[in-house]
């Protein structure tokens, strides 16, 4: 090795950029560590790098020579990624007093791995999809945020056709427009309307329908001063009716249990003075069960079905579930568990397949605080994972 250099930067990505700018694409990372700059300065990432010497003629390398840990060259990035993931050099045995340092090192190494995966994905997109580096970077971002590969490519290519130039900022603005066409915001279900409404939350098992019913009911009571009634048709899940009944007792609103179409009709009739009737339903996974449930709910004249989906669901699973429930023709979408999702961009899969507005997102278990009606711009930023300064954060 020759031309050893040490670089410091606030994060791993910036440090790698400095290495590449100073030493070129063939630079080899020899070491990395986190540096504590004292009480009043932020920690930094220190990277030691060098340029490899050209091998001498007829010089034979040892059969099991260890390859560099991190290579920034695009030509062999995939090989470096595989080696880095599977054959990391052994770390020295930690001392009892250095647990914090070890944890910091592990975090730094994981950040390195994540950055390598991102770079590898971007390089493949540039090569295989013939995308410019800024376009490939944005497509990688969408996929990391949980957007389906095909849908991410569709949005990025639309942005390419609508962007006045190929800079990242121009493409990002065009990408926001493309996403905004696919995620439409709707009116919050707890906002008052002149006529009485009956809303049923439907969706897969475990997405948080019962808690969402309670959140909407509480917001309608406290903010819109509406009269609310609750009905559950979930007589399959153990404890489901008891949970909704308990919520009803706490909020002092009438609560009913309906086991079939006739009991549902009677329960709604008993809610004659209610402004908003919320119906909790059982989760369904099979197409036949979904159809039977829809038939019972649609027997109520004027009922609106709100499809409830979890942001924790992966993009392929979200797409499959949305296809399963599309036959119900739901009027609105409600996205839950945003706080638990690594990539909440999967909500895009449901939005494009159902083609209905997203009326609310929930991000916790607290009733009623953890449910929000977002603007279309905020939904776009939720997909992208970054908020603009002018974003209001919710309506």
Q: What are the residue boundaries of the structural domains of the chain, listed by start? A: 1-52+67-88+103-126, 129-181, 197-384
Q: CA-to-CA distance for 340 and 344, rounded, in angstroms? A: 9
Residue of 230, 233, 225, 281 whose CA lies nearest to 261: 233
pTM listed for this prediction: 0.65
Structure token pair of residue 107: 């975090």
Q: Would you give per-residue pLDDT tens digits along the chain (395 residues)?
A: 456 788 888 888 787 878 777 777 677 777 778 777 766 667 788 888 777 665 555 444 444 443 444 444 444 444 444 444 444 445 455 455 556 666 666 666 666 665 555 555 555 555 556 678 888 888 888 998 889 889 999 999 999 999 888 888 899 999 999 999 999 999 999 998 888 999 999 988 888 888 999 999 999 999 989 999 999 887 666 566 788 888 888 888 999 988 888 888 899 999 888 999 999 987 766 667 777 777 888 888 888 999 999 988 888 888 888 888 888 889 999 999 998 888 888 899 889 999 999 999 998 888 888 999 999 999 999 999 865 433 334 44
Q: CA-to-CA distance for 145 and 152, rounded, in angstroms? A: 10
Going by the DSSP 8-state scheme, the letter that residue 56 receives in this structure is P
Whether the CB-CB separation of 309 and 208 falls below 8 Å is answered with no
Q: CA-to-CA distance for 312 and 342, rounded, in angstroms? A: 7
Q: Can you name the residues that pair with 177 across neighbouring β-strands?
A: none
Query: What are the backbone dihedrals phi and psi of residue 239, each rounded to the nearest 5 degrees, phi first?
Result: 85, 0
Q: CA-to-CA distance for 331 and 311, rounded, in angstroms? A: 19
Whether the CB-CB separation of 213 and 356 falls below 8 Å is answered with no
How many other C-beta atoms lie within 10 A of the C-beta of residue 361?
25
User: What topology is assigned to 197-384 in CATH?
Assistant: Rossmann fold (3.40.50)
The string of DSSP letters for 58-95 reads T----TTPPPPSEE--STTHHHHHHHHHH-PPPPPPPP
């Amino acid at each position: 090795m020759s031309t050893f250099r040490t670089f410091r930067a606030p994060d791993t990505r910036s440090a790698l950029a400095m290495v590449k700018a100073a030493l070129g694409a063939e630079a080899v990372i020899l070491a990395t560590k986190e540096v504590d700059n004292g009480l009043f300065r932020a920690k930094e990432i220190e990277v030691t790098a060098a340029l490899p010497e050209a091998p001498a003629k007829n010089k034979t390398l040892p059969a099991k020579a260890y390859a560099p840990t991190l290579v920034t060259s695009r030509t062999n990035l995939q090989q470096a990624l595989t080696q880095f993931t599977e054959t990391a050099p052994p770390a020295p045995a930690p001392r009892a007093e250095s647990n914090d340092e070890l944890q910091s090192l592990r975090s730094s190494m994981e950040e390195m791995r994540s950055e390598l995966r991102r770079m590898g994905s971007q390089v493949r997109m540039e090569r295989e999809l013939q995308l410019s580096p800024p376009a490939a970077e944005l497509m990688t971002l969408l996929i990391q945020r949980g957007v389906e590969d095909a849908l991410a490519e569709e949005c990025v290519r639309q942005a390419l056709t609508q962007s006045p130039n190929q800079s990242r900022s121009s493409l990002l603005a065009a990408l926001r427009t493309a996403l905004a066409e696919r995620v439409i915001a709707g009116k919050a279900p707890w906002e008052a309307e002149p006529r009485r409404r009956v809303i049923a939350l439907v969706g897969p098992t475990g997405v948080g329908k019962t808690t969402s019913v309670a959140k909407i009911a509480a917001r309608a009571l406290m903010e819109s001063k509406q009269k609310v009634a609750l009905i559950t048709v979930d007589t399959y899940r153990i404890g489901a009716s008891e949970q909704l009944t308990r919520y009803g007792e706490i909020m002092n609103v009438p609560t009913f249990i309906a086991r079939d179409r006739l009991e549902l009709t009677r329960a709604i009739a008993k809610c004659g003075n209610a402004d908003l009737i919320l119906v909790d339903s059982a989760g369904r996974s099979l197409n036949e069960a979904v159809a039977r449930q829809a038939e019972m709910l649609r027997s109520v004249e004027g009922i609106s079905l709100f499809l409830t989906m979890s942001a924790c669901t992966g993009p392929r699973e979200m797409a499959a579930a949305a296809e399963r429930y599309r036959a119900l023709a739901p009027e609105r979408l409600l996205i839950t568990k945003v706080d638990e999702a690594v990539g909440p961009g999967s909500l895009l899969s449901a939005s494009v397949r159902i083609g209905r507005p997203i009326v609310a997102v929930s991000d916790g278990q607290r009733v009623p605080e953890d449910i929000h009606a977002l603007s279309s711009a905020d939904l776009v930023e939720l997909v992208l994972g970054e908020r603009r300064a002018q974003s209001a954060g919710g309506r």
